[in-house]
Structure 1
Amino acid sequence: MATSIRLAPEIEKRLDSLAAETGRTKAYYLRQIIEQGIEEVEDYYLAANTQERIRKGLEKTHSADTVRKNLGLDD
């Protein structure tokens, strides 16, 4: 799938330098950056989304005391 993005000039310059120095393509490094960073980005934005749903009362929450009691951890 082809995707197009705009990079800040200083980032593009760094990417150009890296590609030139190593003989690899800019696309190679962009794939590496995305593959190595996607999990962190998913974690952050999905957690932020859940937090917003909790704030709006759209997610059910449970107190630590209730969870411990229901799991039999208070014994």
Structure 2
Amino acid sequence: MLAIRLPEAIELRLEALAKATGRTKTYYVREAIVEHIDDLEDLYLAEQELIKVRAGRSKTTSLADVMKQYDLAD
């Protein structure tokens, strides 16, 4: 179970969409989450990794080194 608070304008749009299509507000909220969860995970996990790199707690590897390591370099 999940309860969320939405800005009034979004709530009104969601309600209008649900009424116009005969679907529930829950349906559209679920669809929005499913559609965007991968992008949100990528964004927030990348931001966390960037913080670690900047703090010196994680290292980076150049593309050239990865290509060389896996014998993919020209």
TM-score, normalised relative to structure 2? 0.86
After superposition, the Cα gap between the structure-2 partners of 1:36 and 1:65, relative to the gap in structure 1 and judged at 3 Å, is closer
Provide the residue aligned with 1:11 in structure 2: 10
SS in structure 2 at match of 1:61: coil
Partner of 1:27: 26
Aligned positions, number: 74
Instruction: Please list the CA deviations of residues 14-40 of structure 1 after superposition, one character each: whole Å capped at 9, or x if unmatched.
Output: 000000100110001100000111001
Structure 2: gaps of 5 or more residues: none
The SS at the match of 2:36 is helix
Q: Can you give the 5+ residue segments of structure 1 that lack an aligned partner in the other structure?
A: none
* Match runs of 1:54-73 below 5 Å: 54-73=53-72
Range with greater deviation from structure 2 (59-68 or 48-57): 59-68
Q: Which residue is equivalent to 2:47?
A: 48
Query: Which of 57-66 and 45-54 deviates more?
Result: 57-66
CA RMSD of superposed structures (Å) = 1.5
Percent identity for Structure 1 against Structure 2: 45
Moved over 4 A (4+): none
